[in-house]
Every structure is written in C-alpha cells, then in structure tokens.
Amino acid sequence: MANETKQFDRDAIATIRGLAMDAPAKAKSGHQGTAMALAPLVHTLYSRVLKFDPTDANWADRDRFVLSAGHASILLYSVLHLVGQGVALDDLRSFRQLGSLTPGHPEVGHTAGVEVTTGPLGQGLANGVGLALAERWLGTRFGSDLIDHMTYVVAGDGCLQEGISHEAAAFAGHQGLGKLVVIYDDNKITIDGKTHLSSSVEEAARFESYGWHVIQAGEIGEDCDAIERVLLEAKAEQRRPTLIVMETHCGFPSPQWTDKKEAHGLAVLGDDIATTKAILGLNPEESFTILPGVIETYREVLQSRVAMHTAWNERLSASNNGEALVRQLGQLAVDEVANALPAFEVGSQVATRNALKACLNATASALPQLLAGSADLTENTGVALSGSTVLDAEHGDGTQIYFGIREHAMGAVMNGLALHGGFLPVGGTFFVFSDYLRPAIRLAALSSAHVIYSFTHDSIGVGEDGPTHQPIEHLASLRAMPNLELFRPADATETAGAWASAVAANGPVALCLSRQNLPVLSGTVAQNVGLGGYVLNPEITSPQVTLIGTGSEVALCVEAAQVLQEHQVEARVVSMPSLGRFLGSSKSYRESVLPHGVPTISIEAGSTFGWSAVADVCIGIDQFGLSAPASEVFTELGITTNAIVEAALSTLGGLK
C-alpha cells in the first residue's frame, strides 16, 4: 500500500508539473515556475488533508483553499481538473483564452473551487483572514459539529512584501485565528531577481511578533509525508494562526531554469519542456498528459470526503441549530429591513453618518448576518451597534469588529467574510481614506462581494481638517468603478433608503455620508433612493430649469429654487443619490425627471467630472480643499445657494 501511495504521489506530481509547463506554453502567457515548485504541496493538500466535496463546491463546512500567489493559477486549475471539480482538460488547453474557465488569475464565481479572486499580491492572504474569521464566528454561534473547517493560504514573497500582509497578519494574530494556515513559499525569487536585492526581513520573526505559530519547515518541498506532517501540526494549533515557512525551488525540476528569476514567468519552453518531462517520467512528445491511474486514484481517495459531506448533512438535519444556521447562510431579509427602517422628522438636523447608525440598529434584529466595524473610527462613521459584543479572541461571535488603523486589511477581510457566506460586513472610515482600501474595493467589485462601506466626512464639510482630509476626486473615481454602487444621500430619510438599497444589492455598495448635520427635507422619500434620482418638488409641473444635487448640496438646491421663485423662475429640484443607478434606468424615466429642453444645473461638493452626462452646467470643486470652518470653505469654493441662483439666471438669460 505504501508503494502504491508513493507511486500515486509521483505520478500526480509529475502530471501537475507537466500541465504547469504545457498550458502556459500553449497560451504563450503565464507563470510556470511557482506552479511547478508547489505541485507536491498542492497535491498533498488535496489528496490527504483538505476537507472538501468535489461534487459540491459550495458545501458550507468545506475547508477553504486560497492561492494568494494567484499568478500560479495553472497549479490550482490542474488539481481541480484531477479531483473532478468542474475544470475539464479542454479548459486547461484554453488557459488564459477568451471565455475559458481558466483565466490568468483565479476568479471566484467563474471557476468552481476558487474561493476568492486573487492576483494583486497579498489580497488572498487578507481574504483568508476574513474566511477564518467567518468560520470561527459560525462555529462559536452554531457549534463545531456543524462548522469546523480550516482556511489554507499559499503565499509568496510578493504577498508578504505587500503592505496589506502586515495589516492582515497583525489583525489575525490579535484575533487568535487558530484555523488559519498560511504556507509561505520561500523560493527566494522575485521578478527582479533574488529577494535579497530588496528585502532582509526575517519573515518568521515578523509573524511571531504578531502572535502567530511559526513552523520553519525547511527543504521539504518534495516530501509529501513531511508536508502532510507540518500541515497536520498547523491544523492542531487552535489558539493561533500558523505560518509554515517552506523552502522551494522555483521552476524545479527544470535543469536550466530552477532557481532562476526567469522561471517566475514563461521560461520553460520547447526543448526545456521536453528535457524536464523526461526527468519527470512523462513522454516528451506529448502535451497535457494525464498519467494512467492518477484521476482514478484521486476520485477513490476523495470518496471519504464525499462521505464527510453526507454525514454533515445528517447532523445539520438533526441539530437544534440547523434551522438557524441555514437562515444565517441564506438570503438576507430584505423586506424585513425595509419595514424596520426608522423615520426622521422633517426639519430636524441629522448628520447622515448618524442616520446610518440609527438604520443599522433599527434593522439589526432582521439581519443576523450583520457585522459592523471600522478602522479606528467606530462612532465617527456610524457603525457602532448598540448592545453589541466585541468580536475578538474571547468572543468569537461578537458583532462589533475593531480593525484598528488598517483600512486596507479591513476591506480585504470584509471580502473574505462576504465570500465565505453567512455575513453582511459593514466597514467604516473617512471617505478620503477610501484610497487606503481601494485595491480591496476593486476586488470586491470584481468578485461581486456583498460588502457595504460607510464612507463618512464626505466633502469639504470636514472643514478645519483641511485638504488632506477633504475628498474631492473620490466621488467621481468610485463612480467610475464597474459593479460598485455608490449612494450619497441628501438627508437622514434618504440614508434610510440608501441602507435598504445597500442591503438588497448583489455586490459592494459605498455610502457617502456627511460629518455635519443636514436638514431633513420635506421632499425626500426613502423608497425613491433606489431610483437613483427623483423629483423633490413635483408640484412644479412646467419647470424652466432643473437643479440637481447630491448629499448636502440638495438642501442648497431647495433653497435656490425658493430664491428663483422670487425672480419668477420655476425650478425643479432633483436629488440624485445614485448617479449610476439613474443613468442605468430606462430612457423614459430619465426623461420624466430631466425633460428635454429644460436646462439642467448640477452641484456637488467634489469634482465635476462625470456630471456632464446629465447637466448643462456643472458646479463643483476641481481643486483641493482648504483648512477653515466648513461654512467658510463652502463659501470660498463656491458651493452655495447664490452660486446656483446665479448659474440658473445666467443660463436663462438674466434676471426676470
């Protein structure tokens, strides 16, 4: 039996390495060296350690595997083919080609068996922290008989050098995420050359300082039994996350390219492939070879994993917690949330960040999936949950997360929580600091991860904090991002509508909220926020000019319309909480709000970029802000009622 196992290991590893050479070579694009080096690790993980059901990629209690070094995607695709998880041999032949299931970097939702979208280095590691955090929460709340799985992450030098790894690893260590295992592929090679060109960091010491369990595994990259031992040792450590430092050789066993920087990319070609295949016992004349018995043995070995899933289904049916877990993992109660929204008194003064806090707390009982946190700005960003317990190493199912001053990690951890299933993460920071988590926002959009950002202090209303803290280009920038919805509500009533729309969304949502108090307007309607834009004063049936505003500037439009009436000018006021939604609505609806022949003026305390899509005249700020009291900054930069009135009268040809 031992000999049969050894033969299976040799043949499976040789097959994976052959595919790792052939697919990029055929595509004339890709990364071979890391995939070749890590073939024994991934084979051992999938054949001996990983708990998963190859017939059901969505089993809730499966172990999660994240290839943070996403450039080595052919490694993952190859093993997914061998275990029978939806990737066909023709998909490997179509590696990196249009419409294939094997894109250049793994994409969640595109290829079965891919847990998160990786590529930008370090993101997958931080996503893994979110996955592990989700597992601990569910296991604490519903019991280890229903939720008890590991998260394994393969990371390279690039993942550890990127700053996000520092933020995410420190957070994971503080949280004591014992079911998180990161395997560091210490091959000492980057694209530029040896790692010592740019780094002298002792990674083991760094992670130990974060509170991680560190295993210095050494040169075990070709020894499946040794790899299994360290993986099981890591699995047994339940108090701390584990970093396994495993030394490998990029491009092994290529005689020409092993340990060369060129092996990181596409180096093993032509005669080099043939020579390396001969070393592996593969036919040098064949491509995409699957050695006899490899697939059959994988499927035989994995029958026990299918049986684990069957047994789990039985436990779920018999458990007193089963129904609650199914609800947790199921659809959000969108209708219940809409019915529980708070109402706000017209004329009262409420900062929209405080309105969000009221919405979160009013609807929390309808959303068991809700987790809220911030980057050290919990009260400031309206994400404090009343009566909540802190989510930490002692309280695994708390609902209030303290991320610390780690915006980038916060965004990526939120993605992991959402993509795990069972959670609606809400994370808060000042809008200007969305720059710090923008890479994670982009991956949320790519992944359709349902996360919600509370971006407060949304304009020059920040005042004395000055231009470093006053967002200018941020609204235009995030509106340009595909698959990200952005709402900038005019008042507390619209904030309630924006929260309901965010809960009902199918992907990431940014709520841009005010620091300063705003009047609750008589014309705003929560249910209309989902339309993107709507008329606040429908009694004006024959407008001569249309005034469009978002956020705090809608109140200025209302005031300007009143002033214009004194000049015998009928002005329609349109609130545009979501420019993207409005532009995506039907032509007939858009024309009902912005009728042909009526000049339009937009005003927003930010860049005017993009507003020409709906406005003839755009009032905004195309420079950085100023340090002064907010009212003075608004006046100095021309975000005023008078500016709107003057623009309207000028557009209409002067005073009436």
CB 60, CB 329: distance < 8 Å: yes
pTM of the predicted structure, to 2 decimals: 0.97
Of 15, 25, 74, nearest in space to 266 by CA:
25
Q: How far apart are CA 655 and CA 653, in angstroms?
A: 7
ω into 253 cis (within 30 of 0): yes
User: Given CA atoms 424, 425, 426, 430 in this order, what sign does their dihedral have?
Assistant: negative
Q: How far apart are CA 32 and CA 156, in angstroms?
A: 14
Beta bridge partners of 183: 154, 244
Of 488, 436, 449, 452, nearest in space to 371 by CA:
452
Give the residue ranges of the chain where pLDDT is below 50: 655-656
Structural tokens at position 123: 């993101």
Q: How many residues does the chain have?
A: 656
Please confirm, yes or no, whether 407 is among the known catalytic residues: yes
The per-residue pLDDT for 5 is: 86
User: Given CA atoms 436, 64, 74, 110 in this order, what sign does their dihedral have?
Assistant: negative
Q: How far apart are CA 24 and CA 71, in angstroms?
A: 11
The per-residue pLDDT for 510 is: 98
The per-residue pLDDT for 401 is: 98
Q: How far apart are CA 579 and CA 548, in angstroms?
A: 10
Of 197, 210, 209, 206, nearest in space to 245 by CA:
206
The count of C-alpha atoms lying within 13 angstroms of the C-alpha of 210, restricted to the half-sphere facing its C-beta, is 25
Query: Radius of gyration (Cα) for the chain, nearest Å?
Result: 28
Q: How far apart are CA 423 and CA 416, in angstroms?
A: 10
CB 274, CB 56: distance < 8 Å: no
DSSP-derived secondary structure for 216-282: EEES-TT-HHHHHHHHHHHHH--SS-EEEEEE--TTTT-TTTTT-GGGGSS---THHHHHHHHHHT-
- Domains of the chain plus CATH, in order, are 2-309 (3.40.50.970), 334-519 (3.40.50.970), 526-651 (3.40.50.920)
Q: What is the pLDDT of residues 152-164, one digit of tens each?
A: 999 999 999 999 9
Query: Residue 401 CA to chain centroid, in angstroms?
Result: 17
The per-residue pLDDT for 497 is: 98
Of 82, 40, 34, 447, nearest in space to 254 by CA:
34
SS3 content of the chain, % helix, strand, coil (to 5): 45, 15, 40
Q: How far apart are CA 21 and CA 35, in angstroms?
A: 9
The per-residue pLDDT for 656 is: 44
Among 115, 135, 162, 407, which one carries the catalytic annotation?
Answer: 407
